[in-house]
Structure formats: C-alpha cells, structure tokens
A and B are shown apart, each in its own frame.
Chain A
C-alpha cells in the first residue's frame, strides 16, 4: 500500500503538483478575467469600471468572491434539491477537468494524452449537463427555456467546431495537444495561416459554445432574466460564473494550441534579428512593473499604496525568471522554452479572450432562430467544405508534390468561393421568405 503510494507519488509528482496549482489558482484567474472584462467594458463605454476595491479595482475579484460565499444560500421550494445542488458542480467540474490536457508550456502539462484534443472536446461538452440539469431543477419557466436554448445551441455549434478542429488535425496528424504544437514548430507555420477558414469557424463557434454575446441567448438578460441561472444565488451562482469563464479560457487554450502555435514565440523557427522577440516577455513585464511603481504615489492612503506596491512586486517577480532564462548559460536549455512558452501561451489565450470581450460589447444579440440559421445554414456547410479543402491541399502537397503555398492558396480560394456562394444562397432564401410573408 505504502509502496504503491510511493510509486504513484514518485512517478506522477509533477502531474499532481500541476493539478493542485491549477485547481488552486484557477478560480483566482477566472476572477481576474472577470475584472479584465469589466475594465475592458468600461474602457469601451467611456467609463472607469471598478475603482474602489484596491487600486484600480485590483482586489475586486477577491471582494466579489467573499461576497458571494457569505451570501444566503437560497434553494427554491419547488426545486429538485439534489439536482439543483449537483448541477453547478458538474459545470465547474467539466471546465476544470479540461485543463488536464492543455499544454501551457512544453513541460507544464498534466496529462499528455494521445487523444488530448478529443478529451477536451468531450469533457467540455459535458458542462452542458450542468446547465440543462440546473435549468430543469430550478422549476422555473425562464430557467427551463434558458437551458433548452443552451443545449440546442451547443449541439448545433459542436458540429461546426468539431469540423474546424478536424481541419487542424488533418494537418498536424495527431490528437495529442503536445504533438500539434510540435508539428507547428517543426513546419514553421502556425496552423492559422494554413487553415484560416477553420480558425474563423472555430472562433465563431467557440463564442457560441461558451454562451457568450452575441450568442448569449441562454442567459439573455433582457429576455430570460438570467436564463438557467435565474434561480441560483450566492456560491452556486458563482460556480456557474466560474464555469463560464473557465470555458472561455479552455476554448482560448484550444484555439491557441491548435491554430496559434501554442507556447511557440512568433517566428519561432527563424533566428537572427527576430530573436529580439526573446527579450519581449521580460520587457513587457518590466514595463507593467514600472507602471505599477509609477502609480504608487498616486494612490490615496497608505493601504492603497501598499497594495499597489504588492502588485508591482508580483509583476517584478514574474519578470525575474523571464529575464533569468535569457542568461547565456541557460540560452539553449529547456528552461527558456518552458518559462517563455508559458508567457506566450497565456498572452495568446488572453488575446483570444479579449476578442470575446470586444465582440460582446460591440454587437447586439442574435435571436434564437437566427443563431440556429447561422449554425446550420452557414457554419456547418462551410466547415465541411473547409475540411475538404484542407484535405485536398494536403494531397496536392504530399502526393502530387505541389508547392505548399500554391496548394493552400488554390484550396483557400475555392473555400472562399464556396463561402460566398453560401452567403448568396442564404440571402436568396431570406428574400424568398420575405416575399412569401408579404
């Protein structure tokens, strides 16, 4: 027994540490994504956003978490208590489990499964059970409608997203997240440049899958109050919230791995003067540190100054390892790849999440039938055409020996023509529908 425990510990110690780090840090990170969202929203809407709790609202996530945890826990009288209790946990569980297969850096990976992508795809889809069960158990019309919308939406967009993933898979030839990134390092091209249509479909589909605006119908606040979350409050509500933001980070991570080169730095394959990009991570963090220090005297009160100094210290603490691995002694070690890889990976995920936020504050919301139409009439056909296009490009390159750029270019043009035809056909259909109504 003890020997087995020792065996597990000695062999899987890094996986266990990684797992604990993710479970411990993740809720905090999700909280800061919420703060980021509020700050970005405020910036786009000509306001300041959270400013009171800590300097520039930096402690707002902690305050929110404490508030939600000490709130009264209300379960509606007519709710199905067991399922009502289970549903949010299921949602969070699915979101966090997906992290097991996400390679943050070459070494920072809990499980390098050979079916990693499939695993994430399967597990993150399980989150919908949490939503459907929660909506059902609440015993409220709004909740039920939100849950039904949610499941229909996920089923519809799962197909398009899956097809977009396939276009990346065909090129990388592996389902292992690590090998997909290694393929991109080896070939010298991020897959977004090889399968741009696939990336766009994945982007749209992932917004829909995470129930974010403009596809946030399950929780459309002006129509269904809060959708499936209507009857939830306090910590259970926070769990749903956490699940939503963890899903955002998961789809961002998958997109980063599959299309944006994972932990690779831009121009990872070429060397020479572009190596100055290696200096970018420590310089960016140093800049952030400098800005924090610059803001310290402008804070009111010693406590705010102190907190600002702590944040400056954290930023500096991140700067040090980023700079240290650039030392000549470590120049070609795996340490540099690991530490900088994590930086680039997180930066790419955050850029992807930023697009989510940007879209949310710019666009009105789709109506449910329009959402379904977009999924079934446009994205799914286009994703199938895209898979065929990518497959053709691979055959032209590998079998017929065409130049890779030419083979990709030809199939890309064909795919875009198909997209144009789809849009035209959709417009004709809409016009015909309008005529039949009139």
Chain B
C-alpha cells in the first residue's frame, strides 16, 4: 500500500472478455458525475453491475515526492491542493504532524482559531458534497442553495487569509495572521443563519419519497466491512461504528467542546446522508462554543525561522470532512523531510466502491460515488 501509483493493480477485478450478454461500460474519466477524473469500468449484466474497477491516477502530481525537495514550510501549501475542497483540514493535519515532530505546540489562541476554521471547512465540504450528491441523484436545486451558504464560509476564509479554496490558513507552530476585526461576528452570523438552512435542505430531501427510494438500501457497508476496508469518516460512522478522531484522539482544541458523534445503523447511502447532515449541525455547535471564548495571547509558538526537526518519524491524523487524513513524516535532521506519506481518506474510502456497488444498477453507481464523497485530487495526489 506504499505505492499509490500501483493501486489500480492492487484492486483485482476479474474482467473477462465481454461475451454476448454482458457489457463493459466505461464511465469516465470525462463522465459528468465522477467528480473529477475517475474512470470506472463496470461489468454489466443488463443494467445490473457484476463487477467494477476504478482506474485512478489521472490527477497524479507526485505531491509526496515533491515534499522531499521542499523545506517543511514550503511543502505546506501543497497539501491544500490534495483535497481542494477541504484545504484547511489538510493544512491542519500537516502542521500538527510537523509540530509533533518538532516537539512544539501551538498556543491556545491558535488552537481555537484553527478549530473554528476547520469546522467551517467541514461544513463547506459537506455542503459541496450535499449539492453534488443531490445533483447526481437528479435534484437540481439543492446545489445552488448549498453553494450559496458555502460562499459565506469562503468569504470568511477570504477575509481571514486572502484565499478562498487553497487557503494555506495555518503555519507550522500556529497561525500566520491574527483574526480580522469582526471575525467572531461573521462566524456567529453564519452559524445563526445556518440552522434554518440545514432544515431547508432536509425539507427538500429527507422525507422525499424519491430521495429515500434512491438512497435507502443502496451501497450497504456493514461495520465489519468498513473496518476491514479501512473506511473512515462519515461512511464508517453511518455503518454504526462510533469512531471520530476528534473524540478518540483529540487534537487542536476539540477536547474543550461538547459535541455528538452521529452514527447510522444500516450503513446505506441514506444513513451516510443523515450522518453528514447531523455533522454539519454539530460543526455549527462547535463553532458557536468556540467563538464564545477565544483566548487571548500569542498566535505563534517559538519554532524558529528554519525548521530542523530531530531525526525521527511521526504519524499524526485528524478527522477531515472525508475521513481520517494522516501524515507520516520522516525526518533525517535536515531542513527537508526525508519522506512524507499521506493517508488520504478519499483514496482509502474509494476501496469500498466495489463492495458497495455489486448487485446494484448503473443509476446507483453515481449515488455511490457521490456518497463516498471522494475528491480525485486527494485520491491521486
């Protein structure tokens, strides 16, 4: 599992030469609903899927190799480009991993601001997921509502650090920027509005007979299967496994706040939908708690201008919107990391695709790709 380039061969699917009664349908890499450049080969019996193979690598940029030729700070912006819809979460994971390697710790104020921004990013990521997932299943309208709310979050990011998507919001050791005047006000206003907005989406979808019919019982993943496949994040929790790194191994300032971990029972697409909807509410709750009391003080720990971590290795993971994103950083005592290995949640969750898709119809493929919430930039790196 060390070499991401070889994963296409690691997932063996028997693909015999198509006979008279089975079709091999090629979805992607330009298919409109594969969210990027995923290519899926489906072996079909009529419209029923008998097997599948994901072909990835169209967006491979060698991010992990680039890390070996950059200093620790220089590499930080690159991680934003992996999961480009949740850049803040990626950055947090990397910064905390290097801090762990250095033995440094971000000041309390930095930790709280990091938590707020990361939770906002989780909401933004889930909103984009909800919109595109609903669009794939044929509901044309929610995506515009979702993007409208996401826009508010992106505006907060833009005001904070000048960038909207690939933010590079955090620095190793803390924060580059102090929060702007009115930061708390903006976050609070967003959170206050957001409660009714989530209710609006739920009204459009949750009780809708067609939506329920399209998502219930589709792409079932049992808890054991999910664990065996290494699935993390909302898909794991929807399968009934109560595992959230924010609770299990708290990082940033999560140990200070009260929130629930929503779980599902059936592990189907509908449960994953409900889990993510509830997660957005919980993220809002965390944000509201955090802005009540942002400690004052420095925002940067004393880590020095040139980072030279002692030789050693560290693995640090956080709960990104899509699952556990982990960074395995090896230092040889120089200014450049010897190796950075990323454990991307999208890539590992995508492994479950074949298990989930077998026996379903072509129409369910898009629902299942959508429910996995993958970003190809992160799958391919």
Contact = CB atoms under 8 A, between A and B. Distances in A.
Interface of A: 41, 44-47, 141, 145, 213-214, 216-217, 220-225, 360-370, 434, 437
A368 B47 contact: yes
A44 B141 CA distance: 7
Given A214-B210, A222-B366, A223-B33, A364 B361 contact: no
Given A223-B366, A225-B32, A363-B210, 8 more contacts: A41-B140, A221-B32, A363-B208, A365-B139, A367-B361, A367-B364, A368-B361, A370-B210
A364 B204 CA distance: 10
A213 B138 contact: yes
B142 to A, nearest CB: 9
24 contacts: A44-B141, A45-B145, A141-B23, A141-B25, A145-B47, A213-B138, A222-B135, A222-B137, A223-B33, A360-B140, A361-B140, A361-B141, A362-B139, A363-B139, A363-B208, A364-B134, A364-B137, A364-B211, A365-B138, A365-B363, A366-B138, A366-B214, A367-B364, A370-B210
Contacts of B183: none
A45 B140 contact: yes
Interface residues of B, number: 31
A364 B32 contact: no
Nearest to B24: A141
Interface in B209-246: 210-211, 213-214, 217
B148 A46 contact: yes
B141 A365 contact: no
Contacts of A216: 138
Interface in B330-381: 361-366
B144 interface: yes
B106 to A, nearest CB: 39
Interface of B: 23, 25, 31-33, 47, 134-141, 144-145, 148, 204-205, 208, 210-211, 213-214, 217, 361-366
B348 to A, nearest CB: 24
A419 B86 CA distance: 48
A359 B2 CA distance: 49
| Minimum-distance CB pairs A-B, first 7 | A365-B138, A45-B144, A222-B33, A364-B139, A364-B138, A222-B136, A364-B137
A367 B148 CA distance: 28
Contact of A367 (B135, B141, B208, B214): B214
* Residue among B208, B211, B213, B366 with most chain A CB within 10 A: B213
A128 B47 CA distance: 21
B31 A225 contact: yes
A214 B205 CA distance: 14
* Residue among B25, B47, B365 with most chain A CB within 10 A: B47
A362 B217 contact: no
A49 to B, nearest CB: 11
Contacts of A370: 210, 213-214
Nearest to A365: B138
A362 B361 contact: no
* Residue among A213, A223, A224 with most chain B CB within 10 A: A223
B208 A364 contact: yes
A34 to B, nearest CB: 15
Contact of A434 (B33, B140, B217): B217
Contacts of A217: 363
A369 B361 contact: yes
Given A45-B140, A222-B135, A365 B214 contact: yes
Given A362-B204, A364-B205, A364-B208, A222 B213 contact: no
B138 A214 contact: yes
A317 to B, nearest CB: 36
B363 A223 contact: yes
B332 to A, nearest CB: 48
Contacts of B32: 221-222, 225
